[in-house]
Structure 1
């Protein structure tokens, strides 16, 4: 039975990427930054845990020992993304691993967003050590707005009319499981965009129809965002996200869904389909608890 290492397994994306291979009978070793986060990874199917410090590299050699593939997912907008990619890729190369997947972002070469450029540089670093690495470049997730839609208010600090081709995280995780476990994806880069172009205003209209209750779209003033959600961030992370909002104002984030459709062998989930699936899942979980 194959074993894959998922780095960053306790986060939102990491949990999805951990769950997808386990559903195919693959053993997942979850790399987490601290022992208390192990339970999060176990809950979505991880069979074993490695505690890894991506900033120093401590624990990486032990984590990659005995696995067949690695999925590397760095913390969001981390300033040392390139250094982390270098340390992880070097450890995988030392272990003789040929199957390595790097989680990047749609349009990493967009110079208006510093954290995208760090992804682009990290891609180059990974490929320098592991030429056969696979790179996944997902668009923004539908799931980023599902909770807000259920609450009836999509509030964002950028234009309500900018276009996006958001993607279902479950679809991204399904592709991740495929490239981690099946041959034919070596050295390839895949853009993973959703099947429809929608603005936040459009998403609110669709959500109201699907969920059966009003959903408003609201633009948050940047000053309010800085004083609210942005206040808990480091200055670097806050500046990165402000640059991203400005980029979204100018042109949103749009990609081509044809690659994702081909990799899935079906149409990717639309915003409406994701809302239905997520709301049904939450309702079932609530019923189970009751």
Structure 2
């Protein structure tokens, strides 16, 4: 029987990747998007867009009716992440959904980063309401800097020498599709980290070698970030991201785990491989 999976946050880059991976495994996807947003129509017969307001819970009951599994991905750095987790978990429990996967983050209880702490609180809340839920904790994505690397300049508002164990988004999506459609992951938490530890400076050097042209790594002042990408995010979100940059300056964002390789059944993608894939 074909599984029906509700993907919450389907319009974002992670949601789109998870949707693609689910379709490759033959699942049907209900693509939950925010009011006024749209999901990418990968295949009209297998993807059904549905509007869900996570801040109020409006639309959850209809979206969950008849679903076999849920992938819950909250909006990035949202101050009401715990409330959203409560609404989604309670609605999934009431609907009798048998499989629930929560997209968390590596180091969810790092109190240097407020939005990570909210992820940890959301994890614990979901565990109480849905003890069989699976939690995925990915590191930062290679794709966060891939476009900049291809353009020849990676500009970040934190140390160029801090270590990262970045992960390929497609690998994370493949794992998500597996745990959403296979048994044996109930109640588990998985740390999803890449196989290499690179600084931004080293990422630029590797990309330059693959591309055969210069790729510059540049640390920009926080004032420039605030005047550009950080502008208009709201006070709480901006503060959370500034705290994250400070944490990156101190110790980067890295860890060691073989969870990703075990779940994939192969070595995870390297940064060199991701760059090469993007240009071939």
On whether the aligned pair clears a TM of 0.5, the verdict is yes
Quote the residue 1:160 is aligned against. 160
Cα pair 2:38 2:49 within 8 Å, conserved: no
Quote the residue 2:215 is aligned against. 215
- When structure 1 is superposed on structure 2, of 112-121 and 27-36 the one drifting more is 27-36
> In 1, Cα distance between the equivalents of 2:97 and 2:27?
17
Cα pair 1:162 1:251 within 8 Å, conserved: yes
Quote the residue 1:29 is aligned against. 30
The structure-2 alpha-carbon separation of the partners of 1:55 and 1:36, relative to structure 1 and needing over 3 Å to count, comes to: closer
Is 1:12 the counterpart of 2:13? The answer is yes
CA positional deviation for 1:257: 3.9
Quote the residue 2:174 is aligned against. 174
Quote the residue 1:43 is aligned against. 42
Higher relative helix content? 1
The structure-2 alpha-carbon separation of the partners of 1:44 and 1:81, relative to structure 1 and needing over 3 Å to count, comes to: farther
CA-based RMSD of the aligned residues comes to 1.1
Is 1:127 the counterpart of 2:164? The answer is no
State the SS of the aligned residue for 1:233: coil
The residue correspondences of 1:1-290 to structure 2 (distance < 5 A) are 1-34=2-35, 36-38=37-39, 40=40, 42-43=41-42, 47-280=47-280
Uncovered stretches (5+) of structure 1, i.e. residues with no partner: 281-290
Cα pair 1:98 1:133 within 8 Å, conserved: no
CA positional deviation for 1:279: 2.6
TM-score scaled to structure 2, two decimals?
0.97
- When structure 1 is superposed on structure 2, of 223-232 and 166-175 the one drifting more is 223-232
CA positional deviation for 1:178: 0.4
- When structure 1 is superposed on structure 2, of 218-227 and 197-206 the one drifting more is 218-227
Uncovered stretches (5+) of structure 2, i.e. residues with no partner: none
State the SS of the aligned residue for 2:191: strand
Cα pair 2:112 2:243 within 8 Å, conserved: yes
> In 1, Cα distance between the equivalents of 2:184 and 2:9?
25
